[in-house]
Amino acid sequence: MAARAIASITVSFGMVSIPVKLYSATQPSAAISFNLLHSTDGSRLKQQYVCAKEGVVVERADMVKGYEFAKDQYVTFTPEELKEMEEKGTQTVEISEFVPAESIDPIYYDKAYYLGPDKGGAKPYALLAESMRQTKQTAVGRYAARGKQYIVQIRPVAGGLVMQQLLYEPEVRTIEDVEIEEAPVKENELALAKQLIAQISSKAFDPTHYEDDVKKRIEAAIQRKVEGQEIAISPSEPDQGGAQVIDLMEALRASLQKGAPKRAAGKPAPVQPPAVELKSAQRKPPKKVAQEVEQPRRKVSKR
C-alpha cells in the first residue's frame, strides 16, 4: 500500500529549492488502545474538568490557559495572545549546516519522517541525497509547523531521504546527572565479557527479528473475550526483596556455557508463550527450576 503524504514542503539547499512531500515514518495507530467504560452498564465515559475551588464541572467555553509562576499564582493568556507567540509556518526546511552523522548522538532523535521528491524536485532531490552519501555528511536545519519551531536532520537512506526531528539541548539530560560509582574492571573479567559479546553478536541490526509479544498477547486475549471466553490470571511472583549478589566471573562463565540462542537467518526470534490462558485449560503445578544467574549490575551509590 502506497504511503500518503501528510504535507508538501520545500528544502532550501543554498540557492537551490527542493520541493518534497512529507510522509510519516512510523505507525502510532498500530498500538492497541482501550476505552474507559462504566463498570455497571458498559457505557463509554467522557472526561470532565472540575473546578478545584468550587467543585463544579467547567465547560470548555469557560476555560482559559494559565502559567503558574508561583505556588497557586497564575498569569492567564487569551487564545489570541497564545496565537501571537506561535511560530509562523513557512513550509520550508532551511539547511543551516552539514555535519557528520556520527556527531549527532541518537539520544537527540525524536520523530522521523520520510521525504519524497515532489513535482519538479526529482533531480535536486537525487543530487542532495547522493552528495551527502559520498561526503558522509548530514544536513541540519530548522522547520516550523503547528506553531512550533523544530531542529531537524536530513540524512540519506537507501533510496531516499529521512527528516529526523531533533530535541533541543535543554530537553536532553546529561549522563553526568546520574550518580555512577567507579569500579575497577579486571582483565580476566574483560576477556570473558568480550567473548560473550562476540558469541551473541550479529553483523547488523535486523528489526524483523523482534516482535511485540505483549501486543500479540493482548490481541489474543481480546479475541478470546470477543468469543465469550474467560481469561485466567496467573499467580504473581513473590518479591525477592532486592538485587541478588552474584559472582561476576561465574556469571560470565555460565553465560558463555549457555551459548548463543540459535535462530534461523531472516526469521524472527521465538515468541514467548502467553502469560494468560483459558480457565477451562488444565494447569499443572509449577515445577521447581534452577534459578538462572542474573546479569551483573553496576552499583549506584545513594546520595
pLDDT (tens digit per residue) in 247-293:
777 887 888 888 756 554 445 444 444 443 433 334 444 444 334 43
Q: Is the pLDDT of residue 220 over 60?
A: yes
User: Taking all residues of the chain, what is their mean pLDDT, rounded to a whole number?
Assistant: 82
CA angle 147, 151, 156 (to 5 degrees): 125
At the second CATH level, the architecture of 7-26+86-170 is Beta Barrel (2.40)
The grid coordinates listed for 203 are: 553483523
Q: Which residues, other chains included, contact 25 with Cβ-Cβ below 8 Å and sequence gap of 6+?
A: 111, 112, 113, 114, 162
Report pLDDT digits (tens) over 128-141.
999 999 999 999 99
Average pLDDT over residues 212-217: 85
Report pLDDT digits (tens) over 140-171.
999 988 888 999 999 999 879 999 999 999 99
CA angle 255, 260, 261 (to 5 degrees): 120
Q: Are strands 92-100 and 7-13 parallel, antiparallel or unpaired?
A: parallel
- The C-alpha R_g of the chain, in whole angstroms, comes to 27
Q: How much is the pLDDT for 241?
A: 57
Give the Cα separation of 219 and 34 in Å (integer). Answer: 12
213 CA to centre of own chain: 16
Q: What are phi and psi of 7, to 5 degrees?
A: -170, 160
Q: What is the pTM of this model?
A: 0.68
Q: How much is the pLDDT for 172?
A: 94
Q: Is the pLDDT of residue 242 over 80?
A: no
Residue type, 138: T
Q: What are phi and psi of 83, to 5 degrees?
A: -65, -35
The grid coordinates listed for 218 are: 493482548
Give the Cα separation of 221 and 274 in Å (integer). Answer: 9
Give the Cα separation of 153 and 138 in Å (integer). Answer: 7
The grid coordinates listed for 45 are: 465515559
